[in-house]
Structure 1
Amino acid sequence: MRRDQFLKSALALAACGALPMSADAAGVLKMMIPANPGGGWDTTGRALGRSLLDARAADNVQYENKGGAAGVIGLAQFVNQAKGDPNALMMMGAVMLGGIITGKPPVQLNQATPIARLTSEYNVFVVPSSSPFRTMKDVVAQLRADPASVKWGGGSRGSTEHIAACMLARNVGVDPRKVNYIAFRGGGEATAAILGGNVTVGGSGYSEFADHIASGKMRPLAVTSQKRLSGIAIPTMKELGYDVILGNWRGVYAAPGISADDRSNLTQAVMAATKTKAWSEALSKNGWTPAVATGKEFEDFVEYEFSSLRAIMYLSGMV
């Protein structure tokens, strides 16, 4: 039996717990994380890596962080260096789509191979505990009075928290082009800036701020979900009177130029990982909503997201 046929069969058995994957069958997977350590992509990528090991769909997982430009720098390196590699994966998500729309880079996402959407979560806006702003209404009042005085901190330009800040500005009658947004290369840098009082308001996925909120170092103001997050007492932007609902999803792509069998094998490996105890624990710990989609469903979703984000960013004055 050919190695790729064996791997495909073994992965299917491993997914239902019928067969431990051997090191020879699984091998080493290389995970490109196109962001600096400490952010959402880093957390998700490493959780996926642990789950691939738990599923015995890999013998070892090697990680590389390459932050900048909303993941586009990491995307460019991945496309140029991993071509044809059946053991390479790259984290991505809504933030990367926003970066591609605003940056118009020469390397495009469709040069890589879509594998799966994994999770969805919503942005939460926070202030440091020492902030004089107690509520989002306080922030909005200051935004209306002097937009430049409100420094919004988060991921790269075009990130979901950047888009949400512009949506809020437009919603309350402020020119979105006046939003004073400060972009950071990774979640760790953004968190340090928020805790240090170097930005007025910070935004990111709830999982990135959860520990600091629990410790009292950050005060949550609002979340961009349709309804309140389960078990978390943070008001939504909608219930506060602001029409700002925006989700942040994450997924994984494979290298350009791999075969159909290689794509199938990697998809089965990722699906096996999402059925493990390690992945279930990661979902619970980080407050992620499972949003698994593969194949054409995932491809169509990404295409729709590009169109939707372009419209939102245009209306928000970002493009």
Structure 2
Amino acid sequence: MFKKKVIALGVLAIAASLLAAPTANAGAKPASKAKVGDECLRAGVIAAGRGVNGTDLTCAKVAAGTFAGTLRWWYPEMKPYGSVEWVSSSNIGGGYGTTAIAIGDAMKKEGLLTDYTVTYRSNAPLGLGYFYDQKNRKDLLLITGFAMPGGLATNGSKLSITSASAVAGVMREAEAFVVPTSSKYKTINDLLADIKANPKTVAIGGGNYGGVDHVTVATVAETLGVKALDLNYIPYSGGGTLVPDVISGRVAVGISGTSEFSSYVAAGKMRVLAVTSPAPLKTIKGKTLVQQGVDLTFGNWRGILAPADLSAAELLNTVKVIDALHSTKSWKDTLVAKSWIDEYRSGDAFTKWIKTENQSIMNILTDFKLIK
């Protein structure tokens, strides 16, 4: 699944997502073609099996959010959340936390959530451990992603993301290589030349060992004939701790999700050497790796897990809430604003996918000898 040139992405679909902003629903849809959030014509009509996990959609007037007052194919039996505690396995400023905030804010705008908090833990074992220790919590959700299986494995944890209830995979985010504006490196090839010549002299800051940042750097290094274990890779617990060290030059280059660096690039405190998306992004200025002769695209998916002790009915309601959110203007606007790729899977489809993805991540970390 993880190839050197295309790592678990489906590049064509992603390129289309980046180049074309989401568009509004184009007219009412019949029951046979209904998707949640589509317009419909007559209240009470059922679209059998058209919802998540083969559930029914109903043509109903939506009560809140950007669809308020309009007839939509919807889940009228769905219960919005009162409050949610999101668990982020990174410190403030990291990708998990920023994703939780983005989802929480969009849910509030759409009337799917009253309020939320974010609990931060500094790494995958602490975050997932805290999450699994909570019992009988109907208000608890965790943000997971590519970095979590590797973070667990490289820390020697026996925990697994596959033990929780999978809700949905909601997006994928491109990576960015950044340097302070005073850096001698002007292009990604300037940096790669030094890494190839003497990898131990180039301090590279990113997320946890075995995470998406580390794997991205290791994959690029492999194209130079440099082994992952020969890199001078320094792990951080999130963008909040990495950013100051990039700006001050304590590391030669930082790598993380684009949303963690975009504001600092815009403020002139960082310069982008490359982004890993198939095409340039609007939210952060910089050339792609491909544009600079490095044939690689990559990105970090993130998704939502719910406690394993939720009842089947409670879990299905959570899946429906996120499925409804995915159809809304607030979420589509969030994807555009952050240049996030709309890579979405929910319910049973995400449950099946995440098990395969977890094993694929273990395989690539083993190939790079980052785990045994």
TM bucket (normalised to shorter chain) is 0.7 to 0.9
Question: Which runs of 4 or more aligned residues in structure 1 lie more than 4 Å from their structure 2 counterparts after TM superposition?
Answer: 11-16, 230-233
* Structure 1: tracts of 5 or more residues without a match: 1-7
Residue 13 of structure 1, CA deviation = 5.0
Residue 148 of structure 1, CA deviation = 0.9
Residue 229 of structure 1, CA deviation = 3.4
Residue 312 (structure 2) pairs with residue 260 (structure 1)? yes
Residue 236 of structure 1, CA deviation = 2.4
- Three-state SS of the structure 2 residue aligned to 1:27 is strand
- Three-state SS of the structure 2 residue aligned to 1:290 is coil
- Three-state SS of the structure 2 residue aligned to 1:125 is strand
Partner residue of 1:63?
118
Partner residue of 1:301?
353
2:261 counterpart (202, 209, 215): 209
2:126 counterpart (68, 73, 89): 73
Q: Which amino acid aligns with 2:222?
A: R
- Three-state SS of the structure 2 residue aligned to 1:38 is coil
Whether the 8 Å CA contact 1:55–1:272 is kept in 2: the answer is no
Of all paired residues, the percent bearing the same amino acid is: 31
Task: Decide whether aligned partners of structure 1 residues 18 and 259 sit closer, same or farther in structure 2, where only a CA change above 3 A counts.
Answer: farther
- Three-state SS of the structure 2 residue aligned to 1:262 is helix
Residue 64 of structure 1, CA deviation = 1.2
5 Å-filtered alignment, 1:45-60, equals: 45-60=100-115
Whether the 8 Å CA contact 2:80–2:321 is kept in 1: the answer is no
Task: Decide whether aligned partners of structure 1 residues 37 and 234 sit closer, same or farther in structure 2, where only a CA change above 3 A counts.
Answer: same
CA distance in 1, matches of 2:276, 2:61: 38
CA distance in 1, matches of 2:159, 2:61: 34
- Three-state SS of the structure 1 residue aligned to 2:104 is helix
Residue 232 of structure 1, CA deviation = 5.9
Residue 28 of structure 1, CA deviation = 2.2
- Three-state SS of the structure 1 residue aligned to 2:342 is strand
- Larger RCO of the pair (alpha carbons < 8 Å, separation 6+): 1
Higher helix fraction (1 or 2):
1
CA distance in 2, matches of 1:67, 1:121: 20
From the CA coordinates, give the structure whose radius of gyration is larger: 2
Residue 289 (structure 2) pairs with residue 237 (structure 1)? yes
Task: Decide whether aligned partners of structure 1 residues 231 and 43 sit closer, same or farther in structure 2, where only a CA change above 3 A counts.
Answer: closer
Q: Which whole-Å deviations, capped at 9, do the CAs of 1:156-204 have from their partners, x for residues lacking one?
A: 1112111111112111011221111111111111111111111011011
Of residues 255-264 and 210-219 in structure 1, the stretch that sits farther from structure 2 once superposed is 210-219
Residue 98 of structure 1, CA deviation = 1.9
CA distance in 1, matches of 2:110, 2:316: 16
Task: Decide whether aligned partners of structure 1 residues 112 and 231 sit closer, same or farther in structure 2, where only a CA change above 3 A counts.
Answer: closer
Q: Which amino acid aligns with 2:246?
A: I
Whether the 8 Å CA contact 1:47–1:282 is kept in 2: the answer is yes
Partner residue of 2:139?
87
Tell me the TM-score normalised to structure 1 length. 0.87
Whether the 8 Å CA contact 2:179–2:185 is kept in 1: the answer is yes
Tell me the TM-score normalised to structure 2 length. 0.75
Residue 186 (structure 2) pairs with residue 131 (structure 1)? no
Whether the 8 Å CA contact 1:194–1:202 is kept in 2: the answer is yes
Q: Which amino acid aligns with 1:126?
A: V
Partner residue of 1:42?
97
